[in-house]
Each structure stands twice: as structure tokens, then as C-alpha cells.
Amino acid sequence: MTDTVTTTAAPTADAAPAADEAAADRALKAKHRAMWASGDYATLASDLIWSLGPRLVDATGIRPGERVLDVAAGSGNVAIPAALRGATVVASDLTPELFDVGRRLATEAGAELEWREADAEALPFGDGVFDAVLSCVGVMFAPHHRPAADELVRVARPGGRIGLLSWTPEGFIGRMFAAMKPFNAPPPAGVQPPPLWGDEQHVRELLDGRVTDLAMERGTLVVDRFRTGEELRDYFKAHYGPTIAVYARIADDASRVRALDDALAALGREAGLDGSGRPIEWEYLLVTARR
């Protein structure tokens, strides 16, 4: 009888770094999920940006019977209007904690759709299975822009549409992120600022050679909810995950908290919140293309 000897191949030189990178990515995504689950993003979306969803649905011409994916859907401000057009819709997001409100809003609106937990950088869908792939101020917050763009293109069918709406670096939300940056931790290597998705050249580079009929248009969202910079600041401190995360990081340093308080209130005043009640405008970039 011959003895059978089982051997285990030695790990390759790349195995340990690859495992470390995978673990770091899981930790980063867990941090992002916790950030967006904090506060009350669903209320913010309903209060401030719900109208952007129908804007994107109109721009991409969603029709009955089409299969539509909403990437980083949040509580459904794109997915629900698309479903009401008669499309078969999947709302995907890294943060499924937002789905409970989304399901309620969909039920109230009479919309039927599927809710699916998913990482925008590794979507759990086959190649070319959607007629339209949309994202409204959503995929821009995926930390690695190239993999996220790759996935948007991959899951759209040949000839299918891609529609994106993102805050611009120069607009109010882009300036808010710039104001918070000195108080935030340095991003991990390879992580890019979300408002870059609102820069035309950056989007061209992400989609270059893989789409046709690329069109980009800047627009503005009129916001009339706030009277003063302080009121806007306090709303974001209570509702918006990225703002909540920055304040949590500096909570033990009263002088830095005051400095950030002052910076965000000043940003609101610079935008026109002078107590008069007149609205302000938040700039976005609307992108449409075909795979």
C-alpha cells in the first residue's frame, strides 16, 4: 500500500498583500455603511432632494417594461419614480438600513420594486442585464471611482442608457465637503473626493471609450427650507451622515467643533442665507450616455 501525502502549496508573494487589501476594503465599506446609516438621510432626501429623482428619470427617458437599476439608491428618490413609469426596478445600496423608509414610500406611492443590498464597486448582477443604470447623488460617494464607473457600464446592456446626477465641486455641497475637509481624517490611499463626479473632465476620463452619446449639463436645485446659515448647519449636523461623522471625529476638541460650526454657518451665509427666507441654489451635473 502506498502512503498518500497531502501537501499545501506555499502562498504566493502576492497573497498576503491581496488579503490585506481585501480586509481594508471591507473595513472601509463597513465605515461607509455606518456613516450613511447614522442620522436621518431618508428625511433629508425627502425634505431637500426628492425632485432630483424624477429629473434623472425624465432625462434618461425611462419607459414601461424596461429593466432599471438604481445604484446607491438610498430611500428611492430615483427608483420609485422609475417604477411608477412602469419599469421593472432594482434599488441597490450599500446601506440597507435606508430601505425600510424606501419600502414605505414606495407603498404609499403605489410603486412595486426590488430592494437589494449591493456595493456599487462590485454589483451582484450579470453583464448587460439592465436597459438603464441610474444614480442620483449616490455612486459619487463610492470611494473608488474607476471600479464604480466600470460597474455602471458593465451591467448596462449594449445600447442601454446610463444616467448620473452628482453635486459639482463648485456648487454648495461641493463647497461644504471642502469646508469639512480640514476637520476630517485623511482618506485612505486611492479614495477620491465625491464631488469629482460633478466635474465634466473627470467623468469623461471615467467613461472614455466605453459609451456613446455622452451628454453633460449643469443644473441647480432650488432649496428654500433654511433662513440662516446656522439653521442649515444644524440640520446637516442632525441628518447628514458625512457631517455627523466629521463632528464625531472632533467631538473631544471644543475649539475645533466651534471652528467647524463657524465654517458651515459662514458657508450658508455665503450661499445667500441672510435671514430673509429667499431660496438658495445647489449646483449639480447631469450626465447621460449609452453603452
pLDDT (tens digit per residue) in 192-241 = 999 999 999 999 999 999 999 999 999 999 999 999 999 999 999 999 99
**pLDDT above 90: residue 68:** yes
CATH number of 40-222+279-290: 3.40.50.150
Q: What is the mean pLDDT of residues 29-45?
A: 96
How far, in Å, CA of 83 to CA of 88, rounded? 6
pLDDT value for 280: 97
CA distances for 159 relative to 78, 130, 213, angstroms: 21, 10, 10
Return the pLDDT at 10. Answer: 52
Average pLDDT, the chain: 94
Residue 51 confidence (pLDDT) above 60: yes
What's the confidence (pLDDT) of residue 13?
56
> Residue 199: phi, psi to the nearest 5?
-105, 125
State mean pLDDT over 148-172. Answer: 98
Does the pLDDT of residue 32 top 80, yes or no? Answer: yes
Query: What confidence category does residue 21 fall into, taking pLDDT thresholds of 50, 70 and 90?
Result: confident
**Residue 275: exposed, middle, or buried by beta-carbon count in 10 A (0-12, 13-18, 19+)?**
exposed
Mean pLDDT on 83-102 = 98
Give the C-alpha separation, 93 to 91, whole Å.
Answer: 7
Rounded alpha-carbon distances, angstroms, from residue 156 to 65, 126, 202: 15, 9, 20
Band of residue 66 on the pLDDT scale cut at 50, 70, 90: very high
Percent of the chain at pLDDT > 90 equals 91
Quote the pLDDT of residue 14.
63
* Residue where the block lists cell 463648485: 170
pTM for this prediction: 0.92
